[in-house]
Amino acid sequence: MGLVVLFIRCNINKGRIEDVKFDLGEGKKAVIKCKIINGDTIFNGEAIYYYANGLKENVVMFKEDKKNGTSVLFDSLGNIYSKSMYVNNKLNGSVLFFKAGTNIVETEQFYTNDVLLCIKLYDDSSRLKQYAGMSGNNLFYTIHYNSDGDIISENGDIFGDYFDSSSSLDRIKVNKEFEIKIPIVNPPKRKVSISITTYDVISKLRDSSTSFKLPVFNYYALYKTKFKTPGNMWLEITAELKDETGKIIKRGKAKSKITIIE
Distance CA 74, CA 53 (A): 13
Q: Average pLDDT in the 45-70 region? A: 96
Is residue 205 within 8 A of residue 231, CB to CB? The reply is: no
Tens-digit pLDDT profile for residues 2-54? 444 433 444 434 568 899 999 999 999 999 999 998 888 999 999 999 999 99
Distance CA 128, CA 106 (A): 9
DSSP per-residue string spanning 93-145: EEEEEE-TTSS-EEEEEEEETTEEEEEEEE-TTS-EEEEEEEETTEEEEEEEE
Is residue 36 within 8 A of residue 11, CB to CB? The reply is: yes
CA angle 112, 94, 44 (to 5 degrees): 80
Domains of the chain (ranges, CATH numbers): 1-76 (no CATH), 164-261 (2.60.40.10)
What pTM was estimated for this model as a whole? 0.85
Q: Average pLDDT in the 154-177 region? A: 93
- The answer, yes or no, to whether residue 111 has pLDDT greater than 70, is yes
Tens-digit pLDDT profile for residues 229-247? 899 999 999 999 999 999 9
Backbone phi, then psi, for 183, in 5-degree steps? -60, 135
